[in-house]
Amino acid sequence: MEELANRGGFPTVSDYLRHLHDQAKGSAIEAQASRSEPREETPAPPVSTYHSTGLGTMFCGDSLTYLRDDTNQGCVDLIVTSPPFGLVRKKTYGNEDAHLYCDWFRPFAEGFRRVLKQSGSLVIDIGGAWKPGQPTRSLYHFELLLMLCEEYGFHLCQEHYWWNPSKLPTPAEWVNVRRVRVKDAVNCIWWLSQTPWPKASNRRVLAPYSASMRDLLKNGYRAKLRPSGHDISEKFNKDNGGSVPPNLLAVANTESNGAYQDYCRRHGHPIHPARFPEQVPEYFIRMLTDQDDLVLDPFAGSCVTGAVAEVLDRRWVCCELNEEYLHGAMGRFDPTPSALNRTKSVTYSIQPPCRVPVCEEEVPLVEHGGITREPPGTARKVQPPV
């Protein structure tokens, strides 16, 4: 194989195999044309009903069975999920594995396109990954986004980023030990749709006004042309009930799951290791669906999405392959989902970087990009505050 790669002018065997893979897929035109042609499907095992409420159902089994059921075609208003990325973590996080992950995801992409309404949305929370042994990132979540848009015709409505303020400084080797990378604190969230015009309203997810905006509304604002060239008119002084939030969702993943964890510990059930806080699905469910709409989570885990949908009077379906996680998920419905906690307003802030005085002559850059660890006892010297 290595000889064939060299003969073809490819630097590595992986590049040669990738070339063969791309050849087998055919030209871009053929790939575009094949979008509407169904792929050969391997039958998925049946799913069983694990728990039902007046609004929704937990299914135990492969969600592909639900996605391929003809009776579910075009019935879903919102898919919001956090798919597993263990396939990437088991491998080397490189581009080859990004291709493998996309291949694994393709049947789900076809199913999403089948069950989603033309007015509906697909929301995917997906964590990034580091290549083992080096401080560089996998591209798998970006390749997944490109595949969904280019091969399956989804539109990227807007990327969001979930910032978890309570996240530990990881990876520790590159952040704390060798000091060549910064804290990785966000997940990418891809908001996609079948058409460029899914139903949505940001008026459903307004944030409280800042103190400066409240002061402006109270004391008035003089219309003028700002240095940036923007013409701020008198309409800027209108009270709309709240501010439009940014596409950065600041939500700590801590006590929001406390009751669920307590239930799992009391009953001896495993705690799902990759839960997102209820505010993440709540944000998209409120902005993208109406009451009685159908919300689907095909990788449900501990069924956060289903519990939030239940509280918000949406119909819902959660599919989870691991029955043990559904045992714990019952803690979210014991006996009914807890009301979403909105009595306490929580805000987070980030201190600006480069505000701690440092003598650069005494803190040289890490040589060779951190390929070796610094000797023990090496530390930066901080200048005393002025």
Q: Any residues with CB less than 8 A from the CB of 300 and at least 6 apart, and which?
A: 58, 81, 306, 318, 319, 320, 325, 326, 329
Assess contact for 156 and 142: CB atoms under 8 A.
Answer: no
Q: Which two tokens mark 48?
A: 């069983």
Query: Is residue 83 annotated as a catalytic residue, yes or no?
Result: yes
Give the chain's largest Cα–Cα span. 77
Contact 328, 260 (CB under 8 A): yes
Bridge partners, residue 71, by sequence:
none
| Residue with the two structure tokens 């009451």 | 291
Catalytic residue among 83, 277, 298, 337: 83
Q: Which of 62, 63, 82, 281 is catalytic?
A: 82
In this structure, are residues 128 and 187 in contact, taking their beta carbons and an 8 Å threshold?
yes
Q: What phi, psi does 38 have (nearest 5°)? A: -65, 140
Catalytic-role residue among 77, 97, 125, 184:
125
* 124, two tokens: 């995917």
* Angstrom distance (rounded) from CA 300 to CA 249: 21
Please identify which residue in the block is written with the tokens 């042994």: 133
Q: For tokens 């059930």, what's the residue?
A: 269
125 is catalytic: yes
What's the sign of the alpha-carbon dihedral 362, 368, 371, 372? negative
Q: Is 138 a catalytic residue?
A: no
**Dihedral, CA atoms, 45, 51, 52, 58, nearest 10 degrees?**
-50
- DSSP letters, 121-188, are EEEEEE---B-TTSS-B--HHHHHHHHHHHTT--EEEEEEEEE-TT----SHIIIIIS--S----EEE
Q: What is the CB-side half-sphere exposure of residue 15 using CA atoms within 13 A? A: 11
Catalytic residues: 82-83, 125
